Amino acid sequence: MIACDLHIHSIRSTCGFHTLLEIVSIVRSRGLKAFALTDHSPEHETPRAHFSVMLRRMPPVVDWIRVFKGIEATILSEEGDLGIPRFEGAPFEVILAGLHDYGEFSGGSSREKNTAAVINALRKNPDIKVLTHPFYRNFPLDLDAITDVALETDTALEVNNSYLLTGKADTDALAHMLDHAGEKGTMLCINSDGHMFNEIGIFDHALDVLESRGIDTYNIVNRTMESTLAFLGLEE
């Protein structure tokens, strides 16, 4: 059902538990064809050198698994600024972005401020491909507005399995987001947000929610390898 997991953290994120080669092995065991290595941006203590080496030297295929070079960037301000290290001639293949407990958003913030930050980030940074965990209960959003802007900016809204697994999800907000996305045709991306072996490449909670609502009514970008590559604008 899902061919490519576009949100996985390695040991280079302070919250991840596995090396790149361990993740490749886990992803293969789940029957997936590809994944994105999307460690947190340097604001969360991921070494800047990690991204430099990944972007410049990591091969696109590791043990027959396609590995997309990515990052989960943190939205830093209400103006939509992002923390993304840039290296000339070595672009990211996929950029995820979301709100986290960091900086001026530490401890949570208002629905209005959160919504403005996300909208500004999507409009200011057109290379964001996926908005991560938009139904995180600690950061409420106006999901009608977010869904409309995501449609405008060709951004996929994430259905994050780990947030459903760990109780971080506002399930009413998720249901509302899915209703609006289904009506508008806004893209969705089903990801594990895996940090540990029992989470990586696992989508059961997210799929259960979508299947209960009629999964074929949604535009899911990472259903197949072909749809994922088209979404990212890449060749196999």
The token duo for 35 is 């994944």
Q: List alpha helices for the chain, DSSP H.
A: 20-29, 48-57, 111-124, 143-153, 161-165, 171-184, 204-213, 225-232
Angle at which helices 171-184 and 204-213 pack, to 10 degrees?
60
C-alpha 61/C-alpha 78 separation (Å) is 37
C-alpha 74/C-alpha 40 separation (Å) is 8
pLDDT of residue 78: 96
Burial class (CB in 10 A: 0-12, 13-18, 19+), 54: buried
167, 135 contact by CB (below 8 A) = no
The full set of domain ranges for the chain reads 4-232
The token duo for 215 is 């999964």
Q: What would the pLDDT profile of 5-28 be if each residue is shown by its tens digit?
A: 999 999 998 887 999 999 999 999
CATH superfamily of 4-232: Metal-dependent hydrolases (3.20.20.140)
- Those residues of the chain that have pLDDT short of 50 are none
236, 229 contact by CB (below 8 A) = yes
C-alpha 180/C-alpha 192 separation (Å) is 22
pLDDT of residue 69: 98
C-alpha 50/C-alpha 69 separation (Å) is 11
**Could you tell me whether strands 61-62 and 65-74 are parallel, antiparallel, or unpaired per DSSP bridges?**
antiparallel
pLDDT of residue 54: 95
113, 87 contact by CB (below 8 A) = no
